[in-house]
A and B are shown apart, each in its own frame.
Chain A
Amino acid sequence: DAGVIQSPRHEVTEMGQEVTLRCKPISGHNSLFWYRQTMMRGLELLIYFNNNVPIDDSGMPEDRFSAKMPNASFSTLKIQPSEPRDSAVYFCASRTGPSYEQYFGPGTRLTVT
């Protein structure tokens, strides 16, 4: 298996632009997590899905952030409009039901100028 796949790996955009991050979980995994990592705040959970259904989005910073999981093999995290303080590494992780272990993707490094 290729593991969790994220795209793009790097994104540089200007303030006010829309940003869409993509994630493909490991085949057969039924839970998907979006995290944000910064030096100041560490690894923060933004939202997670079970069987494509959002379970907890309390970590989503504000209405500018939205996430979808239209099917078991694809999820998006969208920021609109983006701001410089959104600059971070965004990780997607997936997990299969019987196991607690989360497998992380390579991350997307987002820079908003």
Chain B
Amino acid sequence: GENVEQHPSTLSVQEGDSAVIKCTYSDSASNYFPWYKQELGKRPQLIIDIRSNVGEKKDQRIAVTLNKTAKHFSLHITETQPEDSAVYFCAATDNYGQNFVFGPGTRLSVLP
């Protein structure tokens, strides 16, 4: 089955700097890759996603890149702000395209 790895597990950056989180997946048939943000005590919420026919997608300060050949995708946050502090999860669809397999998460701390 699908296996998703995520690095780093924790990341601290200064406010205004960029943050990059990387994920790898194992199933070459996976075709959808979402990123969820989870603030302390809250539910995971989708912040950006990318499909396998696209190499990059941007939404204001966040972007995601996908390399299907290497089976990895990354989240980029520019001009980080304290409110970006949260746990970020990447995910990939499973073999049947029905469900997500989540990475273990990255705890991002943005220091003022």
Contact = CB atoms under 8 A, between A and B. Distances in A.
Interface string B101-112: 111110000000
Contact of A43 (B32, B49, B89, B93): B89
Contacts of A45: 99-101
Contact of A91 (B43, B103, B105): B43
Interface in A88-113: 91, 100-107
Nearest to B105: A42
B44 A100 contact: no
A104 B44 contact: yes
Interface stretch (A13-21, A48-56, A77-85): A48-56
B43 A55 contact: no
B44 A50 contact: no
A56 B32 CA distance: 19
A100 B93 contact: yes
Given A33-B99, A56-B99, A100-B93, A91 B44 contact: yes
Given A48-B99, A50-B98, A102-B100, A43 B34 contact: no
A101 B99 contact: no
| Residue among B32, B100, B101, B102 with the highest chain A CB neighbour number at 10 A | B100
Interface of A: 31, 33, 42-43, 45, 48, 50, 55-56, 91, 100-107
Interface of B: 32, 34, 42-46, 49, 89, 93, 97-105
